[in-house]
Each structure stands twice: as C-alpha cells, then as structure tokens.
Amino acid sequence: MAASTRRRNQAKEAHWLQVIGQWQDSGRSIRSFCRKGRHSETKFHWWRKALAQRGLLSDAPHDASSSSPAVPFLPLRLMTQSPAAPDRRPEVVPLEILLEGGHRVRVLPGFDPKTLQEVVQILESATC
C-alpha cells in the first residue's frame, strides 16, 4: 500500500453523516448550526463535500453560500388599473396573492403583516 493512500475512517463518516442530517432537519444556515453545535464550519463543508463525492449523502447539497433555508417562490401578479380621470385621485393598486389552493388575497398598502400571515395560514390549511 502506498504511503499516500489513506483508509477511510468509518466512525468519522458516520459522525459527519449524523451531523449533516441534523443540520438538514434543523432548517438553520450552516453557519448558525455550526456555531450552536460547536462544529468547525470548515470541517463541516469538507465532510459534506467528501460524503457527497462518495455518494453517501442522499440529496443534493444545499447552496453553501445560502444563509437561510430554501424558500419556495410563489407566483405574483401585479394588477394594473385604468388611469384615473384627471379630476380624480389615482386609485391604489392592491397586491394580489394567489395561493396554491386557488384562494386570492388582495392586500392594500398599510396592511398588517401579522393579520395577513394568519389569513394565509388559515386559507392554506383549509381542506375544501
């Protein structure tokens, strides 16, 4: 056996597979997870890459530059209204949110974010 050939340390592989799984379940950024768990961020990235190259990670690696978990994008359509008559004030254009279940929510400037969040949660959990 050549001097440069290294044997895999299965205990370390198992440890880092467990750590990476915990990170994936946590929903935290790598930096935040490593700080909280007192893991070396450099070692985390090295092991994540090495385990992925060895085919030991079940899913595609997350973007290492991302500071937060992936958030799905939802379609957004801005609605325009016909120009106001010269003697009238321009109308306020609402923001329309189309939810996956087909519900539409129109939001005017100055809305209460907490109320909007509650409404969206209720509509998304409706099983109609």
Task: Give me the pLDDT at residue 42, please.
Answer: 94
Q: Is the pLDDT assigned to residue 102 strictly greater than 80?
A: no
Mean pLDDT, range 104-118, rounded to an integer: 84
Task: Give me the pLDDT at residue 67, please.
Answer: 46
Task: Give me the pLDDT at residue 60, please.
Answer: 47
Task: Give me the pLDDT at residue 61, please.
Answer: 46
Spatial distance between the Cα atoms of 34 and 50, rounded to a whole number of angstroms: 17
Comparison of pLDDT for 87 and 37, the residue scoring more = 37
Q: How confident is the model at residue 64 (pLDDT cuts 50, 70, 90)?
A: very low
- Convert the pLDDT of each residue in 45-58 to its tens digit: 999 998 888 888 86
Q: For the chain, give every domain's residue range.
A: 10-53, 76-125
Task: Give me the pLDDT at residue 41, please.
Answer: 93
Q: Is the pLDDT assigned to residue 2 strictly greater than 60?
A: no
Task: Give me the pLDDT at residue 26, please.
Answer: 86
Q: Is the pLDDT assigned to residue 99 strictly greater than 90?
A: no
For the chain, give the mean pLDDT: 76
CA 33 to chain centre: 15
